[in-house]
Amino acid sequence: MAVNHPANDRWRRTVRGRVLVMASVMALWGVAMEARLVHLQVFRYDALVEQAERQQSRSVKTIPKRGEILDREGRLLAYSVEADSVVAVPNEVVDPIGTTAAVCEILECSEQRWNTVESRLSGDGLFAYVQRHVSVEAAQRVRGLDVPGIGLIKENRRFYPNSELAAHLLGFVGFDNKGLHGLEQLYDQEISGREGRVLVQTDAHGRAFSRVERPPMAGVSLELTIDKYIQHITERELRIAVREHGAVGGSVVVMNPFTGEILALANEPTFNPNVFGSTSEDERRNRATQAVYEPGSIFKVITASAALEEGLSHPAELFDTNPGSIRFGSRTISDLRNYGVLSFTDVLVRSSNVGASKLSQRLGAERMGRYVRRFGFGERASSDFPGESRGIVYNPARLTESDLASVSMGYSISVTPLQMAAAMSAVANGGELVAPRLVRAVLNEGERVEAPRRVVRRVMSKNTALTMTRMLEDVVTRGTAQSAQLAGYTAAGKTGTTEKLVNGRYQDQGRNIASFAGFTPSTRPELTILVVVDDVNRGGGSVAAPVFQRIAEAALRQLGVPPNIDAPAPVLLADELFLPVTALPVAARLQPAVRTTGIGAAPGTMPDLRGLGARQAVEVATELGLSVEISGDGFVATQMPEPGGAMTPHQTVHLELDRRAMESAP
């Protein structure tokens, strides 16, 4: 019989205890593992899958190429180019301080920029920009550093090859390919295109093993109405005028009065959109559409047009402006001097404040307010200019007689240069207010979609517009705007000079806003030009009118518009009187005129010009294809060849003028 030894019992108990402990530990470990698996695979499943995807795959946006911006002849004004940007993977940077020093030496960082770069490199992220859009030389030097965690990526950068040219129209683009100003901002959605997306999947060691890409879609291109050459001339002449007269700034608008196309728009001061970050807000402001001013005597065009359209006056009516001033209660409105008795035409020619004030009282506040609105003041002139101002127009019901007189001569109302240019264009084109436009067409993969001409409303009849044109021609030939006269072309327009309003108070003499608005050739206008020069000590006739003259002569040559003085005139139908020359058929532009002039001349015979004023005689002669030589002053007294004789195209007629000729004219 076997006997259990006490030592064996102890050994068995020890083994059994250890087995129980191990079994308990294993059981607890199994339960813990199961619990952990349940926690991870059930409760945290979605979060862990998302984390894994973030670690193993990256989705990166690819920026599309922005569309180009072209002038009316297809010349590039803005396009996108590839540029290098310096980037970092912070968790791969071994020595943040040393790396910062090496990179910033190349990039010439400021102290603040140095601190920013060091902060970014000291982090533990996967991506950070160090500096975007660096120069080619800087990119090559960074590439040669071969520092862990520092690299280069290609991005699109907007480039403006003509620097300041049309800067306020084009605007600029930020580092994120977002339009921030001008057309770049207004048409950002169309120009910027659709971004692409790149998906890169990696293994546990960060090695890429698959790539899925959706390519970006380039944006559409814009064809503008502006002419690069005319824009250059306009900016140059405005800059010269501002510097010559010590002005604080100015604006010029050049537009086709029939189509509303902006051929040029310039502001001074200006800026370079390639380096927009170093420019001031004042330099970037589009004064022509965002700055308002009191237009002064140019606004008498609106007053006179309203009076003619309403049948309240006619060009020959006489106005007594004695003694050179007019009172409204305690307020006195004065002319530069006592002009005595003036015809309605000469109220404009002499720019009489007294005459305009008397006209305003005939019109009354309600009618005057109606025409102010009809000409487009108090509303945005165009949809192509972001941030455009509506101007300031007061409620007619609240205008006193004194206020009404102020409005009639361009005070107590604020307008933008673009609004004033559109209003003058309504006179030039025969009475239609046409919305100015800057975008001529949208180009998308070979498809060209033109922007239509938009007539806002008719503001006056063709007869009223024609009468106003003749009166405004006199302003240029013998009035306040003689500096606007052109060689070979007739012009019509009006000057304006207003005392500058600062903080609600008019400044002392010598701080004026000088302006001129006109169109040419006045018989069939191709150009409306508005010039505004801010803060000068002279008037519109001596400051702004010469700028009009220089821009107009260069622009007419660029457009190939033939002279209308001392040159054959085209055959025109009645409906073509308000068509621009470039809108007529070629045959109509070249065929010598043989139509009856309305002064009793049969076709092919020399008309009787005796008794006509110089301007009227020149108009009749040029319409018939005759060249004119004039001597003397006043009215036509004699002419050679004599009336009734045979007339041949391009023939020269010699006219002798005399102030007494009107009395003896047949």
Tell me the three state secondary structure of residue 203: coil
Residues β-bridged to residue 129: 87
Radius of gyration of the chain (CA): 38
282 burial (CB, 10 Å; 0-12 / 13-18 / 19+) is exposed
Residue among 161, 160, 162 nearest 181 (CA): 160
Distance CA(382)–CA(418), nearest Å, equals: 9
Label the pairing between strands 76-88 and 627-632: unpaired
- CB contact at 8 A, 301 and 359: no
Amino acid at 103: V
Residue among 565, 559, 583 nearest 233 (CA): 559
294 burial (CB, 10 Å; 0-12 / 13-18 / 19+) is buried
- CB contact at 8 A, 353 and 409: yes
Measure CA of the first residue to CA of the last residue in the chain; give whole Å: 172
Give 8's Cβ-side CA count (13 Å radius). 4
- CB contact at 8 A, 121 and 99: yes
Distance CA(398)–CA(243), nearest Å, equals: 41
Which whole-number Å values give the CA distances from 576 to 571, 581, 609, 622, in the listed order?
9, 9, 24, 16
**φ, ψ dihedrals at 564, nearest 5°:** -115, 10
Q: Does the active-site annotation cover 297?
A: yes
State both tokens at 100: 């910062």
State both tokens at 235: 């900016």
* Residue 442: Cβ within 10 Å count: 18
Distance CA(353)–CA(402), nearest Å, equals: 12
H or E stretch at 393: none
Distance CA(18)–CA(24), nearest Å, equals: 10
Q: Which residue among the candidates 297, 351, 414, 483 is catalytic per the annotation?
A: 297
- CB contact at 8 A, 513 and 293: yes
Which whole-number Å values give the CA distances from 328 to 281, 402, 499, in the listed order?
42, 6, 20
- CB contact at 8 A, 615 and 628: no
The region that residue 445 occupies, defined by phi over 0 for left and psi between -120 and 50 for alpha, beta otherwise, is: left
Residues with catalytic roles? 297
